[in-house]
Amino acid sequence: MENINLTGPEAGIALSTLVAFSDDNPSIEEVAVMRKYYKFEDVESFQNKVDAGGYNFPGDFPVLEPIIMETLKAQDRDFQLRTLAVALVLAHSDGVFDQNEMNVLNRFCIGLELSLSDADQFSKFRLKEIDEVTGYGDFKDFDNLLANLDINLTVEEAGAALAILVGLSDDDPSDEEAAVMREYFSVQVISSLMSKVSDSGNKYPEDLENTKDSIFTALRQADSDIQKKYLAIAYKVAAADGFVDEAELTLIQEYCVEYGIGVVELKDYFKADIA
């Protein structure tokens, strides 16, 4: 990972992100605060710098704390207070200000020689006055902070997500592909998957691609037989309309490489007559 240079707003975004992830994936309310007080172009710039620096989102964010701190120390007092105030508003937005969120904010208060009381007073009496609040209108396509959220999928949900991704990779799933999905995945599993995708701030089906890392993570917990089973189902979905195209095969091969499974094994799994 490389050292990255952040602007003041980018450091503020980073701090709010640290707070949001400290107790779990960000809630809808926490994401709303981010959208309200930070501009899309700053979020996008921050995400690009994080990616270019080789940082994984959000697991490596605690490593950025010294960079965030030094950037904020270089800002004026009002900006520091504004940054802490937004992070504090975010922490309270879901109705629970938990210990992990408090710990993150306390570390920055100490480093900036401020207090949570200072931030609280600023949020109540000066934040609205001093800010140009962007509002929701400019953030309809705000997905940079959500794109790589780790969605906590069960192994079966991950298998269903992979099958759906394969079905969508060459266009909307055909009737034959949809029939295979219904054969192997219950309505309850699909409904649970869709709820988790939605709760993470993603939209179905256009944002289902954002579950790829979560699928990798969930299936990694399964034994090789289960991994092979779900990859074979995905392959059967791809072949259901009589043709496995390049997009479908490329996606399946990503997971085959990850788990050391050959595509030939998938073809043979159901003894299907697949060319």
For the segment 214-265, what is each residue's pLDDT rounded down to a tens digit?
888 899 889 999 999 999 999 999 999 888 888 889 889 989 988 899 988 9
Q: 196-218 pLDDT, tens per residue?
A: 887 776 666 666 777 787 888 89
Which residues of the chain are modeled with pLDDT < 50?
132-149, 272-275
With residue 262 as reference, give the H or E element that holds it: none
Q: Are 138 and 101 in contact (CB under 8 A)?
A: no
pLDDT at position 87 = 92
Q: Which domains does the chain have, with CATH numbers?
A: 8-139 (1.10.3680.10), 155-269 (1.10.3680)
* Cis bond before residue 26 (omega within 30° of 0): no
pLDDT at position 140 = 33
Q: Are 202 and 208 in contact (CB under 8 A)?
A: yes
CA-nearest of 190, 176, 162, 184 to 251 is 162
pLDDT at position 71 = 95
Contacts of 149 (CB under 8 A, 6+ apart): 25, 26, 58, 200, 201, 202, 210, 214
Which pTM was predicted? 0.50
Q: How far is CA 98 from the centre of its chain?
A: 21
